[in-house]
Amino acid sequence: MNDKWVIGVIGGSGLYDIDAIKDAQWIWVNSPFGQPSDEILFGTIGGIEFRFLPRHGRGHRIAPSDLNARANIDALKRAGCTDLLAISAVGSLREEIEPGRFVVVDQFIDRTQGRESSFFGTGMVAHVSMADPVCERMAALAAGAFHAAGGKVAQGGTYLAMEGPQFSTRAESHLYRQWGADVIGMTALPEAKLAREAELPYALVGMATDYDCWREDEDAVDVAAVIAQYRANAGVARDAVVRFAASLPESRTPSPIDRALDNAIITAPDARDPAVVARLDAVMRRLLVTG
């Protein structure tokens, strides 16, 4: 059994590189699901293997609706990742989650439209559980790392994934608060769903940049304010990744998510489309190797 950590970091708005990575090399990883957002930065932090992917591409050139999340997750799996830490700018839907605070997300509400949200489909059908969509171990380690880096951290929160690229109307913002959402963003889904299908334990830390538009006595959110806040947050995020690496146990013990596909595949072996199975060679590697 391989007990080594290989941590994939998905950087969101304002986090396009991690300068602490040693022996760094940008490498293109091809995916049968299309083109990932960018090359992946291979290297180490404190002796731990890391793989960094800027979600929007360097220079923030890819819009939320145009992100190829399937290619991104597939490429990270091909790059050898065992676990994923995602970092994302979010708007706050709660007074107590002020701009500058980091939220370790534990639930999602999906309001996206038309995005490719599964590696599976006709010819190879699978249904993974998303009841508990993040990895508790990764989330706890992330919370500790961001706290140690000097960040103000809220552990636990529901992320509302909207389509965008426009920000919310005031009516929508109030509605999402009534639904119990705590933060809002445009990119965590289908990313988290695909990570589960790829058997990659996933945690998401949201960096609050604004109060969305539910506070009637304040100006609506605009890009200038978001950029200013995520630039302020980025330094803490980079430091937290270094502290995260230092906090990892020496050996990686198995996670239940490592076997998320065990009871998920419903298509009978003799009914599986070979072409569909072929492009799942990374996602289903464990099952294909063991038969």
Positions marked catalytic = 210, 212
CA torsion, ordered 283, 89, 5, 32, to nearest 10 deg: 20
Cα distances (Å, whole numbers) of residue 275 to 194, 238, 246, 272, 278? 19, 40, 42, 9, 5
What is the SS3 assignment for 5?
Answer: coil
- Identify which of 59, 78, 56 has the alpha carbon closest to the alpha carbon of residue 280: 78
Beta strands in 38-132 (DSSP E): 40-45, 48-54, 83-92, 102-104, 107-111
- Token pair belonging to 5: 């950590």
Q: Cβ distance 234 to 14 under 8 Å?
A: yes
End-to-end CA distance of the chain: 17
Q: How far out from the chain centre does Cα 5 lie?
A: 17
Residue 186 to residue 160: CA distance in whole angstroms: 8
* DSSP H or E segment with residue 124: none
Cα distances (Å, whole numbers) of residue 87 to 106, 146, 191? 13, 11, 12
- Token pair belonging to 33: 């699901």
271: Cβ–Cβ under 8 A, 6 or more apart, which residues?
A: none
